[in-house]
């Protein structure tokens, strides 16, 4: 019996030793795999930083519009891409088709518009350029893949990229790698010159409106205002790009577009304060850099039914917003 107990104890001891060794081996393998994965990602980021160009594919495909030698260029983010009818603007100004174009695109940023100005320097030098901006362009708290400014990300070191976005925002880094190669391919294929110009002078339209239960309760809680911080590299690089763009344009106007009219700015102090901070950042540099700021807090004729969501007008709001902007830009 003593021998049986001894054998049982020995087997248990050996089993525990094996289990412990296996656990250490598995843990070591996981650590090694993670290190190898991060090292591989770092290599890809280093390559992406080298191949990156400031004009993304989404912007490059719209730049052939500039071959019409426009006098007025609308650029920036999605609220211009989906909200400004360049063809209508030309009519309102009594000018020919092609004299006004819309080269804005989803999550567009000033650094990219500056990149476009370097491709078409003579066109920008003769044009009034109107660039819209959104809070995510300046807010360091927004790190999601869909809207993080790619040109800002390219100006960070690989170490800064890894420490800023791992582990929770790895998707932002993966998108950056993908977009960097897509932008370089567009540059090599000279998409900005040889592609056919988009229809409707660059306007895309949102025909639907989101359901009532999809609207955020208050704008201070909108993702673009999350973890609010406008003191980092986003503001530095994007406002710097606006200053450079002002030198390359006949005239530069920076637009802070309106939000849906269902939201009361006076009743939401936090939203109001953050919007005012964005406008303040721009106004602080406007005189020094030579651009003007159009802070559109509301448009008199826009109604709740004219908005597709919190930020964007739908098809019915496009002519109203376009007319308002054209009138304001005359001043």
Q: What are phi and psi of 245, to 5 degrees?
A: -65, -35
Neighbours of 219 (CB within 10 A): 23
Tell which residue, 323, 331, 321, 328, has the closest CA to residue 81.
Answer: 321
The pairing of beta strand 128-132 with beta strand 100-102: unpaired
The answer regarding whether domain 54-329 maps to CATH 3.40.50.1000 reads no
- How confident is the model over 205-242, as pLDDT tens digits? 999 999 999 999 999 999 999 999 999 999 999 999 99
pTM of the predicted protein model:
0.91
Torsion of CA 76, 238, 116, 174, to 10 degrees: -90
Domain chopping of the chain, boundaries? 1-51, 54-329
pLDDT band (50, 70, 90) for residue 29: confident
What is residue 24's predicted lDDT score, i.e. its pLDDT?
74
As a whole number, the mean pLDDT across the chain is 93
Q: Alpha-carbon distance 57 to 81, whole Å?
A: 15
């Amino acid at each position: 019996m003593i021998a049986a107990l001894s054998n049982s104890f020995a087997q248990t001891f050996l089993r525990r030793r094996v289990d412990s060794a296996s656990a250490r081996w598995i843990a070591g393998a996981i650590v090694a795999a993670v290190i190898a994965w991060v090292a591989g990602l770092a290599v890809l980021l280093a390559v992406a930083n080298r191949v990156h160009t400031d004009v993304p594919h989404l912007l490059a495909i719209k730049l052939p519009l500039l071959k019409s030698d426009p006098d007025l260029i609308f650029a920036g983010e999605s609220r211009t891409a989906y909200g400004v009818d360049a063809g209508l603007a030309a009519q309102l100004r009594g000018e020919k088709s092609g004299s006004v174009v819309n080269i804005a695109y989803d999550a567009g940023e000033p650094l990219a518009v500056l990149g476009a100005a370097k491709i078409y320097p003579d066109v920008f030098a003769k044009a009034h350029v109107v660039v819209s901006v959104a809070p995510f362009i300046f807010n360091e708290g927004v790190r999601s893949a869909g809207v993080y400014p790619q040109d800002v990300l390219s100006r960070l070191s690989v170490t800064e990229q890894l420490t800023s976005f791992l582990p929770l925002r790895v998707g932002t880094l993966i998108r950056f790698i993908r977009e960097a190669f897509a932008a370089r391919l567009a540059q090599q294929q000279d998409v900005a010159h040889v592609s056919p110009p988009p229809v409707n002078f660059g306007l895309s339209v949102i025909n639907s409106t989101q359901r009532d239960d999809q609207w955020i309760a208050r704008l201070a809680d909108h993702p673009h205002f999350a973890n609010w911080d406008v003191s980092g590299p986003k503001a530095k690089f994007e406002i710097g790009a606006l200053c450079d763009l002002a030198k390359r344009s006949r005239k530069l106007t920076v637009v802070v577009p309106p939000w849906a009219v269902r939201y009361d700015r006076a009743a939401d102090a936090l939203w109001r304060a953050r919007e005012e901070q964005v406008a303040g950042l721009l106004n602080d540099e406007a005189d020094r850099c030579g651009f003007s700021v159009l802070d559109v807090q509301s448009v008199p004729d826009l109604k709740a039914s004219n908005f597709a969501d919190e930020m964007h007008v739908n098809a019915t709001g496009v002519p109203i917003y376009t007319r308002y902007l054209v009138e304001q830009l005359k001043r």
